[in-house]
Amino acid sequence: MKLKTLLPLLLGFVLLIFMIWYVDLGRLYNAIVESSPVWILFNAVLVPPLFLLRAWRWRMLLTPIKNSVKFSSSFWITMIGYMVNMLIPIRLGGEFVRAYAMDGKEKTGFFQSLSSIAVERVLDLLGITLLGLMGVFLLPKEISLPVWFLDVLRVVGIFVVIALLGLMLGIRYERRLLSVVERIASAIPKLPHRWREKLVNFSKSVIDGAKGLSQSSSMLLFTLASTFAIWAIASLATFFTFKAFNYDVPITIILLGSMLVQLTFILPAPPGYIGTYEAFWSAIFIGLGLTRIDLILAAALVSHLIGNAFIITMGSIGVTSMGLSFKKVMAMKSVQ
């Protein structure tokens, strides 16, 4: 496990050093020194509301499972999950930790909690896609987007539509779906009865965890609104970052670039996203037409530093406030 962690970390540092060398350390240093601390502060101020909204949305999604989940639990467990995802190169680790920690703290059920987190991810993709579409519609006619960007937008959009339809149909026709699962389990030869029950119970837990989407029209509206707000704030933070370096980037490029940067987080990466965050950020914004490589990389470094500092700080506080230990938290992800 140490080798699996240290090798990607080393490669990430090599990638980061190469980018700094390619851009020129002097140019990069001047760009950072001459940046506006006020705009950087505006960026940093937006980070807490981003995670507070995430925690509140998760709490709402858990309401059908348990109506009295504490907001403090959802917030600190969210921060712990993001910290785990940042520290280890396997992206699903933090999601398992969140599900286990929430079940341990609020007795929501592991699979129900994990299912609600899966719903979160689908909603995030929906928010990212909507921002991408806004960027496409706002783009001036004289500017043409790369073919690869439109392909990414189509793929993500199709996946979101299929996932949402699947979730809504599963909730609406829960009894029929569970009946089908039970028949399939019964048709498997030599499958013990207890395993059939476990398969049916697992399917029911997954559906229960997704019911936050259908508990009421007002809650659904709030969930969708909070999702859009989350990604609007993320895009605004990117805008403030470029403003800090006095780089006037069109809002359409901000929206499109933010969408693609967020999509890269589903890919395997070194601990802390060292090197890969800066590489993806730079490649995306250069691909969308920006030319000041020194300012692009400087913006990526500042954005990365602010995000990581907040996640590590709040995640560490969360571990303590939840009565956990780092050893216990890291052990939770081993179930995957």
Give the pLDDT band of residue 4 (cuts 50, 70, 90): low
Instruction: Give the residue with greater pLDDT, 114 vs 185.
Output: 114
pLDDT at 247 over 90: yes
Confidence check: pLDDT of 336 > 60 = no
pLDDT at position 265 is: 82
pLDDT computed for residue 51 by the predictor: 95
Percent residues over pLDDT 70 in the chain = 94
- Across the chain, what does the average pLDDT equal? 86
DSSP code per residue over 32-101: HHTS-HHHHHHHHHHHHHHHHHHHHHHHHHTTTT-TT--HHHHHHHHHHHHHHHHHSS-TTHHHHHHHHH
Q: What is the pLDDT of residues 291-304, one digit of tens each?
A: 999 999 999 999 99
Find, among 80, 17, 60, the residue nearest to 297 by Cα.
Answer: 17
**Quick check: 149 pLDDT over 80?**
no
Contact residues for 145 (Cβ-Cβ < 8 A; gap 6+): 136, 139, 256, 288
Tens digits of residue pLDDT in 313-323? 999 999 998 88
Q: Which of these ranges, 131-135, 236-240, 306-310, has the smallest mean pLDDT?
A: 131-135
Residue 66 near residue 287, CB atoms below 8 Å: no
Range among 34-38, 206-210, 211-215, 251-255 with highest mean pLDDT value: 34-38
Output the pLDDT for position 52. Answer: 96
Inform me whether the pLDDT recorded for 1 exceeds 60: no
pLDDT higher than threshold 50 for residue 230: yes
Is the CB of residue 244 less than 8 Å from the CB of residue 299? yes
Instruction: Please tell me what DSSP assigns to residue 215.
Output: S
- Where along the chain do its domains lie? 37-335
Return the closest-CA partner of residue 76 out of 324, 309, 321: 321
- Going by C-alpha positions, the residue among 89, 88, 111 that lies closest to residue 98 is 111
Q: What percent of the chain has pLDDT over 90?
A: 37
| Average pLDDT score over residue span 255-284 | 87
Q: Which of 55-69, 197-211, 283-297 has the lowest mean pLDDT?
A: 197-211
Q: In this model, does residue 241 exceed pLDDT 90?
A: yes
Residue 123 main-chain phi, psi, to 5 deg? -65, -40
Residue 89, pLDDT > 70, answer no
What is d(CA 317, CA 320) in angstroms, rounded to the nearest whole number?
5
pLDDT at residue 134, as a whole number? 82
Whether the model clears a pTM of 0.85, i.e. scores above it, the answer is: yes
Per-residue confidence (pLDDT) for residue 6, from 0 to 100: 78
pLDDT confidence of residue 259: 86
